[in-house]
């Protein structure tokens, strides 16, 4: 639920005067996204999304994110395209925050992803990876393997209050994941947070879902492409009871491989990449869980859901566990 | 920030099949409104708002609210118009909640209302009162004078924790307000909650704001028309520092009187009606302030802002205090 910064109507009108977007028609806060403030903006030129970047986003990184989105959109990926103002600049300031207007994407994110979503999701992820080629600026993954030990260290003071022995168990996982972390796999621009609420779908004639948009590129970075697949396996293929749906995994991997066939080395690395991805979301959730002040206007997400995922992946005997 | 009930995409599609609204194009939660869950809904037929009524709304009262909105819209008032399904019913069920789709209204609510907003606001309020004529079903005002003593009683256990002596001061105000409460003033359907976030404006050619829509009729009821004016004087004419802006009040009253001239008796009653309105919002805020569990996902509103307003009105020597 995200509107952290209120925008006065005067400030909004002054801001819009910097664009060639016609007249303001409507402006409503959107209750989605957790990092930034998002507004649905309608002008006589159409529908847009206005984002005010809040303090968890480093303003010096915004040109990279907006540049990547522009690059991907120009290559035909259905993602928000930053709209430049009259002066050619897309990154501007509003209400004391960095701000940008992007194009609006149609579609609905799936509250309960089904097998039918997972194939198109995999294909869309492969399309994202292909479209990212040629965007040469690199952004290191701050939440990648090098970041996990320090993050676990910051969780240590309160981590075991969530579950006794949790930090020791995570120490063990971290050590074995880092020891097995693959080198030499294909790298590129990855989304790194492609959860269901970041993927819009529309239905085709016979009720078949197709991806209409990928959003929220503010964790995107330069890393192992197959790690993005592993993040999606974690985010899309577990049921609400945290059982692993191998049919969804098979559909996701088939959709991805149809558009960008993974090498044998990439496929073989999936179990450890999945363990790493589970640990990454476990650690940030654990940190937030133990450091969110009571009364804060955010919904904390249960870190232990990712411990269950991590344990599943740790028990996987090779990529066959994922239906391949 | 209001999305309390999540709607699965399957449930949404099944729900929309009950309407003649074409194909689903987009569906986003709206971060506005505090009582219900609101979604911006776009179909091939246009833009709509889908509301799921949460537990603070009595479902047996929904037909009255929707009937009033339909009546007002049919008389040309710019308010949300309930959209009937294929079976003629506008009030339906979705995700276990009563739900309705209404038309989308353009405009932006003023984060910092200016004098220029207050005149058109007054005129729009008078138009609402005129359009309500002929809607004969009555809804008593549960938060009207009869409700204030019981509400103060429920605030008594914790009220003085907000400010020592607060309950005793409110006892005194309540007694004098009830003793002076006017009888025989014109009654009708009132909005009863016409705060700035419930009034959308668009700008005309020379930057002059005009009202493009009135929303959120879920406190509407049958009561003294001038009491609605008093609610607006409280909601629109105090500055952020809680000083009273008599120029705004004059503009609001002039706008109202131009469209529906108030009688001398109504004008003379404004100070006590304003005291009553201030007490009403003070009491519900005080109750929420002292009864909202820590960590709840709602922003509590400071009740003492309304104590400042109440004291201002109590010191008003007649309607001249409001610029008339």
**Tens digits of residue pLDDT in B158-190:** 999 999 999 999 999 999 999 999 999 999 999
- Cα(A208)–Cα(A195) distance, rounded to whole angstroms? 20
- Cβ–Cβ gap A297/B40 under 8 Å: no
Per-residue pLDDT at B10: 87
* B106 vs A26, A29, A30: nearest CB: A26
First to last CA, chain A: 38
Contact A159, A170 (CB under 8 A): yes
pLDDT digits (tens, 9 = 90+) for B209-224: 999 999 999 999 999 9
Per-residue pLDDT at B301: 82
Contacts of residue B83, defined as CB under 8 A and 6 or more positions apart, other chains included, come to: B19, B21, B48, B90, B100, B101, B102, B103
Contacts of residue B217, defined as CB under 8 A and 6 or more positions apart, other chains included, come to: B65, B68, B69, B72, B79, B80, B191
- Ordered by where they begin, the domains of chain B are 9-103 (3.30.200.20), 115-322 (3.90.1200.10)
Count how many residues are written for chain B: 324
- Cβ–Cβ gap A295/B299 under 8 Å: no
Q: Quote the minimal CA–CA distance from A216 to chain B in Å.
A: 14
Per-residue pLDDT at A5: 81
* Lookup: tokens for B284: 């519900």
pLDDT digits (tens, 9 = 90+) for A94-118: 999 999 999 999 999 999 999 999 9
pLDDT digits (tens, 9 = 90+) for B233-285: 999 999 999 999 999 999 999 999 999 999 999 999 999 999 999 999 999 99
Tell me the pairing of strands A97-103 and A46-52. antiparallel
A-chain residue closest to B6, CA distance: A111
Per-residue pLDDT at A295: 56
- The percentage of chain B sitting over the pLDDT mark of 70, rounded to a whole number, equals 96
- Cβ–Cβ gap B1/A297 under 8 Å: yes
Per-residue pLDDT at A299: 65
Q: Which long-range contacts (CB under 8 A, 24 or more apart) does B290-299 make?
A: B290/B155, B290/B157, B290/B158, B290/B159, B290/B161, B290/B162, B291/B158, B294/A294, B294/A295, B295/A294, B295/A295, B295/A296, B296/A295, B297/A1, B297/A297, B297/A299, B297/B1, B298/B1, B298/B34, B299/A297, B299/B1, B299/B34
- Cα(A100)–Cα(A22) distance, rounded to whole angstroms? 16
Query: Which residue ranges of chain A lie beneath pLDDT 70?
Result: 1-3, 33-34, 293-299
* Lookup: tokens for A112: 């309960």
Query: Does the structure show a pLDDT above 80 at B28?
Result: yes
Q: Quote the minimal CA–CA distance from B319 to chain A in Å.
A: 31
Max Cα separation, chain B?
A: 60
3-state helix, strand, coil in chain B (%, to 5): 45, 15, 35
Q: Which helix (H) or strand (E) holds B307?
A: helix B304-315
Contact A95, A89 (CB under 8 A): no
A-chain residue closest to B117, CA distance: A9
* B29 vs A6, A32, A106: nearest CB: A32
* A1 vs B10, B31, B201: nearest CB: B31
In this structure, of B5-19, B182-196, B275-289, B293-307, the range with the lowest mean pLDDT score is B293-307
Query: Does the structure show a pLDDT above 60 at B295?
Result: no
pLDDT digits (tens, 9 = 90+) for B58-102: 999 999 999 999 999 999 999 999 999 999 999 999 999 999 999
Beta strands in B78-226 (DSSP E): 92-94, 97-103, 187-190, 199-203, 209-214, 221-224
Per-residue pLDDT at A4: 76
Residue A261, burial from CB neighbour count under 10 angstroms (0-12, 13-18, 19+)? exposed
Query: Does the structure show a pLDDT above 80 at B226?
Result: yes
- pLDDT-derived band at B293, boundaries 50, 70, 90: low
Determine the 3-state secondary structure of B190 from DSSP.
strand
Task: Give the residues across from A244 on adjacent strands.
Answer: A238
- Which one is predicted more confidently, A168 or B204? A168
């Amino acid at each position: 639920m995200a509107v952290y910064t209120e925008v006065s109507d005067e400030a909004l009108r002054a801001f819009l005067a910097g664009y060639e977007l016609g007249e303001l028609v409507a402006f409503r806060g959107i209750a989605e996204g957790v990092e930034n403030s998002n507004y649905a903006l309608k002008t006589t030129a159409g529908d847009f999304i206005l984002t005010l970047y809040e303090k968890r986003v480093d303003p010096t990184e915004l040109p990279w994110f907006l540049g990547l989105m522009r690059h991907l959109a120009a290559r035909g990926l259905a993602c928000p395209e930053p709209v430049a103002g009259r002066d050619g600049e897309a990154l501007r300031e509003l209400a004391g925050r960095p701000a940008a207007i992007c194009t609006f994407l149609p579609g609905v994110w799936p509250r309960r992803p089904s097998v039918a979503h997972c194939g198109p999701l995999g294909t869309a992820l492969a399309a994202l990876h292909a479209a990212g080629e040629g965007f040469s600026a690199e952004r290191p993954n701050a939440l990648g393997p090098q970041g996990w030990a320090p993050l676990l260290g910051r969780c240590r003071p309160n981590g075991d209050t969530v579950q006794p022995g949790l930090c020791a168990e995570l120490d063990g996982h971290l050590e074995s994941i880092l020891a097995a972390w693959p080198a030499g796999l294909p790298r590129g621009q990855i989304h790194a947070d492609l959860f269901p609420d970041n993927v819009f779908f529309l239905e085709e004639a016979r009720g078949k879902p197709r991806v209409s948009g990928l959003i929220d590129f503010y964790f995107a970075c330069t890393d192992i492409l197959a790690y993005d697949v592993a993040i999606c396996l974690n985010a899309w293929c577990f049921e609400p009871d945290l059982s692993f749906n191998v049919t969804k995994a098979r559909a996701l991997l088939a959709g991805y491989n149809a558009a960008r066939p993974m090498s044998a080395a990439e496929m073989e690395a999936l179990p450890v990449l999945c363990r790493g991805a589970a640990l990454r979301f476990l650690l940030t959730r654990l940190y937030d869980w133990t450091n969110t002040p009571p009364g804060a206007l955010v919904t904390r997400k249960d870190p232990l859901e990712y411990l269950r995922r991590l344990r599943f992946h740790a028990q996987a005997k090779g990529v066959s566990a994922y239906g391949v």
